[in-house]
Amino acid sequence: MGVTGRADWLDTDSLLAAGRAAGGEVTDRQLELWRYKGLMPRPVRAEGQGRWLYPPGSDRRLARLVTLRASIRSLELIRVVLWLDGFAVEIGEVREAIAETLRRLAEAVEPAGGEGSIEALASALAATRGRALLANGGMSREERTRAYALLIASAFGDPKELAARRDDEVLLTRLFGEGGSAASVIATGETPPLPLPRPAELAATVVEASDTELELARRVVRATVVWWPLMVSLAGRDRPEGSALSTLARETVEELPVDLLPLLVAGVLGALRSEPEAPERPTVAPPPRGEVRRAILEAGVAVVARHGFDGLTYRAVAQQAGTTHGAVGYHFNTREKLIHEVALEARRSAAAGASIVPAAADLDSFGADLARSADEDLDAHLFQYELSLQARRRPDLAREMQSLYEDYYDLTRQALEKVGIEDPDEDLVRFVFAAIDGLVIRQIVDDDPEATEAALAELRRMLGALGAGDGR
Amino acid sequence: MADRAEGGSEAPGRLALLDAAVHVVARDGLDGVSYRSVAEEAGTTAGLVFYHFGSRESLILEAAMRAGRRAVAHAIPVGDGGLDTFLDDLSGSAERDLSDHVFQYEMAFNSRRRPEVAERMAELYAFYGEETERALASLAPGEVTPALARLVFAAIDGLVLQQVVFDEPERTDGGVRALRRALRALFAESPS
């Protein structure tokens, strides 16, 4: 790709050496697995040689992975920590990792009463034995539950709950040791208060968050659990004698109550959007299920058309459909599902296709509605184009789009037959539909319906020369 | 080739960053473009990307111009070969310059919500239209209107889009055959 100078890029050997220096023997296989899982960056081949080169910073990243791996078994949580650290990780995968962790948490809480009581959440977290940091403290499950409850009460800033749990601070000391910076500062309740999220909405809050919101949440959480406690340490409260800043920073990061992170991210996201969400609650009874579903799907089409694919969030769709984001989550419990159903909706929306088949059999009516449709059904067209490009990256969408285009080829074939071209061959159908598609794209770009009309007149002349309309 | 002419005042690093931006858009869409994603693609730092382009908008617009120029060099019927050579190679070009094509479609579909993108894309398409008109005129002097050029380029654009999405070059070749047939029929029938 013509990137000059890869002097500071690392070959596999020096990378693995960095892993060993961090205290772990990383095998080629392990490295490949982490690469495959997106936890390590992809290497590029050195020009003119067989060696693979990893981008600068990969050694730091591998060393971090080695230390994380020693205490956290879940790859999802490791991904979340890497993200929090600021390493480049695929944001969609982070979103899914957090959501998946929260879904499991919600499922664990649900039978215990549904409402997100601190006890329910704490006991669910304490039960995730072996996946989490607090599982290592040599405590009974009951003690772990109390430790988690204190951490949650602290992180989400509920003073009453916190006061009731003061006695349990000793548990945190046992876990993190005296002066354990991150956890102990969290436990003093000096962090900013956050709303305690409802378990059922936890995953949805994360799934529907835009990349920007997630990045903001990342910074807030990082500031809360890493930098802020570090500042407190540096201010001298419990700074160990002679410890260097970098050592302190590393220790702070290593002491993160890792399994609380997804919950914190959801809490911050909830706080970020709690204001605009409030007046949105419907005052009338919601319409019957079928209608809400339909309204949501139609809203999805409009949202993709206007804001692109990445704009397809629960919140944007809810706003467009005039419903709550809880309702969207109820009908489509994952973003994947919403996307899939919205794609199916594209096939059903006849607006974009209707303009292909002429109303009458004369050649003059061929494409007569196209310029108007490109204008009036702009959303439907844009939606389908966005989906087309997206289909390159998603095999499930590719299938839907393939069927959609087959429908269009059929419509084009019918249209050609109607104006008098007998048994139009595959090639002609493909050319004519491509021309129609291209004219719509051009009109999207330069908004010149008259030029579209003029080009269509030329298309009719061409079809006439090919035998349409009595060969005129 | 068009790159060279531009490259005089630009450090190679800058062009590499623009190429990286084109790749990011092709892979993740326009919303995927950030200092960080482009830096990662180019194997450099987000700070360097910021240093070169200052804003995300200007990075995107410059990348659009670069992809556009390259598409003109590769994918437009200019030069000695004329329309025939160009059409012969349409499916090949769609395959080779995939990222540039995806990028341009992303830009085209985004033009309604970004006025500055719309302006740039309208210019680019106007240019495509003129070049197509010139190439057609060499086949049938005196019979080619801007409207016909618009139609022919629309067909080319539509065929490339379908190939970009579904990766079926043989269907592109089929569409091209029909386009040729239609042009021949049209020119044969015109009184000249």
Residue of A44, A88, A434 lying closest to B155 (CB–CB): A434
Q: At what angle do helices A449-465 and B169-189 cross, to 10 degrees?
A: 80
The angle subtended at Cα B29 by Cα A60 and Cα A302, nearest 5°, is 135
CA nearest to A74, candidates A106, A108, A101, A55? A101
| CATH class for the domain made up of B56-189 | mainly alpha
Chain A residues whose CB is inside 8 A of the B161 CB are 385, 388, 434, 437-438, 441
Chain B, 22 to 61: residues with Cβ < 8 Å from chain A are 23, 27, 29-32, 36, 40, 42-44
User: Best of B102, B106, B109, B173 to disrupt the A interface by mutation (most A CBs within 10 Å)?
Assistant: B109
Q: Answer whether A316's CB lies under 8 Å from A307's CB.
A: yes
Q: Is B151 in the A-facing interface, judged by CB distances under 8 Å?
A: yes
Task: Give the residue ranges of chain A where pLDDT is below 50.
Answer: 1-4, 112-113, 129-136, 178-191, 232-233, 235-239, 241-242, 245, 275-287, 350, 471-472
Q: Are A66 and A109 contacting, i.e. CB atoms less than 8 angstroms apart?
A: no
- Rounded to whole angstroms, the Cα distance separating A166 from A168 reads 5
Contacts across the A-B interface (CB distance below 8 Å): 190
B155 to A458: CB separation less than 8 angstroms, yes or no? no
Cα separation, A160 vs A9, whole angstroms: 53
List CB contacts of A452: < 8 A, sequence separation 6 or more: A370, A371, A374, A439, A442, A443, B150
Per-residue pLDDT tens digits of chain B, which is 192 residues long: 333 334 344 444 788 888 888 888 877 777 778 888 888 888 888 888 888 887 777 788 788 777 776 766 555 555 555 677 778 888 888 888 788 888 888 888 888 877 777 887 888 888 888 888 888 888 777 788 999 999 999 999 999 999 989 889 999 999 999 999 999 999 887 654
In this prediction, residue B72 carries a pLDDT of 61
Residue B5 CB burial class (10 angstroms; 0-12, 13-18, ≥19): exposed
- How far the first Cα of chain A sits from its last, in Å, is 53
φ and ψ at A19, to 5 degrees?
Answer: -65, -40
pTM: 0.53
B154 in A contact zone (CB under 8 Å): yes
